[in-house]
Amino acid sequence: MAEVNQVSYEEIVNAAMGRIPFDLIIRGSELVNVYTSEIYRADIGIVGNRIAYVGEAGSLNLDAKKSVNAEGLYTVPGLVDSHLHVESSMVIPTRFAEAVLPHGTTTVAIDPHEIANVLGKDGVRLMIESSRNLPLKVYILLPTCVPAVLDVETAGATFFAKDIEEMLRWERVIGLAEIMDYPGVINLSSRITEIVKAGLKANVVLDGHHIMLNDRELCAYASTGIEANHENFSFEDVLKEVRVGMYAKIRKDLLSDPEFVKRLNGLKDHQNIIFVTDDILPDNLVEQGHLDDTVRAAISNGMDPVDAIKAATLRPARHLRLFDVGAVAPGKRADIILLKNLERFTIKTVIAEGKIVGSDGKFVGEIPAYNVPEYAKKSVKFDRFFTPEDFTIKAPIKEGKIKVNVIDASAVLTRLSVEEMSVKNGILELDGFETIAVLERHRGTGNKGIGVIKNFLKEGAIASTVSHDSHNMVVVGSNLPDMCVASNKLIETQGGIVAVKDGAIISLVELPVGGIMSEEPVEKLAEKVSKFRETCRRLGVIEYPTSILSIMVLSLPVAPCIRITDKGIFDVLQNRLLPLFVTE
């Protein structure tokens, strides 16, 4: 966070009283007051990085070193995103700040879950160190489930309560991030129980993550003090959570549905409704925006603009216990957005920590340089390149037919399909199906989860070291040679996503930082990811209606219903590994 323009207690009081001039005054804008839901003309006086004065426009003769004429513009607080993964933008925090500040996001609570699964506590340190002295305020919610599900996948680290207790003492750490082992929480599994208790003892924010809990299970989950959940897919999900006192964190996809917004408007009280981004890939970030785009979606589909703004400012600030952000009021951080149009949430100027950092969608501030340590660029650890033999599926019979557990990827909620397939010379024949493999890349175990998938692609192969949550290498292909080219290219580049056809690389996004991020500007990554999407469409890859590429969630063992990890096929709802071949 920015440290260069801190201001003293005395200076704020003296500026408010008119004893010293303001550093900056914003004159005559239409202030959106998130406390009273009023909109009225106001003058706003700033000294250093704090707001010292807010009053009706023209009521006093205010002296300032610099003045901004904001007639015809609306003033709203800087946006506060209470749940996101910087790593999903595929850039390091310095580049992320450049990208989101012009969109009005001035405070974030990041969950460095992805890099922690690769580099452990060193990954969390990297995110803290690379986000120092930025005009974007970056707070940390500690990853609680590394790996997401114990004994089901191999991550680069394993966090226990003692690790959480240590990291809770680190700078800018304000809580525990999405506690996604919800079965472990409600069944009192020792590891996650002790982690939650560590958060309770420290009296910090406990953020949640759950899916498909029944009433009894939800009450058990909420009774622990876990106070929020962002995995909401319907109005019923949201209603159940707010009824038990939890914050319902809502993403853009739901707010893009007019019927959902209509039902949400029917709730008499929205105090526990919060907007978040969670995961935004670089091309979506460049083309559509950040939390501002979520606010726009809500307004355009029928939500009152002031209500939508509260859901992205005051409410998340209170949830995070960050009481000096989220409002334009005396004593608050000078984080302000000037809007050309309220209903369309069209941003003209962004001020963070009292300085202009965004103008007409462009970043105009200063970002300190950060050099990524070399160890973070050597995370794809294989001692050899792969051959077709590595992806050949050997059957337990020599010839004939055999039943196989197949992953059906025709929808986001992947399903299990039992298929009868042919075996020839001890090798499974894959006519009409594709091969999928998850290759452990952190510890040199040699683990390889291999299986059969259908309805994912039609030709070629794609591979990725971005594969939530443990980020092992995932490769899917219609033929084995292309799978080899794809996986071997990612060994060379030390991570990324790649598409291959007929032995040729046709699209590549290099992500050498932990195999999931780049030091390049987000605009360059956006171009590459956009090309990768188009390439995947040509290969017939299933495209999910979410902000995540489909290859990235095939190994996510907390996303229903059937996934595959480096240890094999995993039934998420039954919480058990399945054999590849079905035996009677």
pLDDT of residue 546: 65
What pLDDT is recorded for position 412? 83
Residue 584 has a pLDDT of 67
Q: What's the mean per-residue pLDDT of the chain? A: 95
Reported as a single tens digit per residue, the pLDDT across 182-211 is 989 999 999 999 999 999 999 999 999 998
Reported confidence tier of residue 4, pLDDT bands at 50, 70, 90: very low
SS3 145: coil
In this structure, what token pair is assigned to residue 112?
A: 């460095």
The whole-number pLDDT of residue 2 equals 44
At residue 545, the pLDDT reads 65
Mean pLDDT of 9-23: 96
Helices (H) and strands (E) in the chain, counts: 17, 29
Element (H, E) at 346: strand 346-352
Q: Give the chain's domains with CATH numbers.
A: 77-324 (3.20.20.140), 376-578 (no CATH)
pLDDT at 149: 85
Helix (H, G, I), strand (E, B) or coil at 215: helix
Quickly state the pLDDT bin for 6 (edges 50, 70, 90). confident
Region 272-281 average pLDDT: 96
Name residue 271's beta-bridge partners.
Answer: none
Segment 439-462 shows an average pLDDT of 96
- Tracing tokens 């005051």 back to the chain, one arrives at 314
Q: What share of the chain is helix, strand, coil (3-state, %, to 5)?
A: 30, 30, 40
With beta carbons less than 8 A apart as the criterion, state whether 73 and 29 touch: yes
**DSSP structural state of residue 373:** P
Average pLDDT for residues 146-159, to the nearest whole number? 92
Residue type, 346: T
Confidence of residue 542 (pLDDT cuts 50, 70, 90): confident
Q: Residue 560: its pLDDT value, please?
A: 85
The residue among 64, 89, 39 whose CA lies nearest residue 277 is: 89
Does residue 546 or residue 216 have the better pLDDT? 216
